[in-house]
Amino acid sequence: MKKIFFGFIVLLMVAACAKNQDSIIPYVPVRFNSTINNPALLKIKAPGGAVILPGYGYAGLILYNNNGDILAYDRCSTVNPEKKCGVNLDDPSLSVTDPCSGAKFLLLDGSAAKAPAVRPLLRYQVSLSSNNISVTN
């Protein structure tokens, strides 16, 4: 009987962890368009520069210049995304930190860099044409 009870407890723990791992950032249409000369985007003109843009995506956008390649991520941490906790830029802006859990993510590719994060940041598509930048999903 003890083995059955122990097995049941282990099964519940695995199910609880699996549920947490399966939670995802809710889909929100993203349509950001601007000129690259917009003063709000000034920091992304230089390699390593990053900006936060509230009001887009689920918890805001992060734009990052990875040696001339502009990357866009949702600001929502993948740790307990239902809390809608927006990550903050670290100094220097090579990574971001979730103020709710302490998790860290690298802006080079969005990957999880510090527990409890295991999933990368949600990445969006970026299009650059002449002086315009567009972020969509």
The CATH number of whichever domain residue 123 belongs to comes to 2.102.10.10
**Residue 3's pLDDT band (cuts 50, 70, 90):** low
**Residue 11's pLDDT band (cuts 50, 70, 90):** very low
Q: What is the DSSP letter of 76?
A: B
What per-residue confidence (pLDDT) applies to 64?
97
What per-residue confidence (pLDDT) applies to 4?
55
Count of structural domains, the chain: 1
Residue 15's domain comprises: 2-136
- Determine the average pLDDT of the residues in 6-19: 42
What's the Cα-to-Cα distance from 112 to each of 6, 15, 95, 116, 131, rounded to whole Å? 33, 22, 10, 9, 32
Task: Report the predicted TM-score, pTM, of the whole model to 2 decimal places.
Answer: 0.83
**Residue 93's pLDDT band (cuts 50, 70, 90):** confident
Share of the chain above pLDDT 90, in %: 80
Q: Residues 49, 52, 56, 61: what is their CA dihedral angle, to the nearest 10 degrees?
A: 50
What per-residue confidence (pLDDT) applies to 97?
98
What per-residue confidence (pLDDT) applies to 21?
47
- Determine the average pLDDT of the residues in 66-93: 96
Cis? peptide before 54, omega within 30° of 0? no
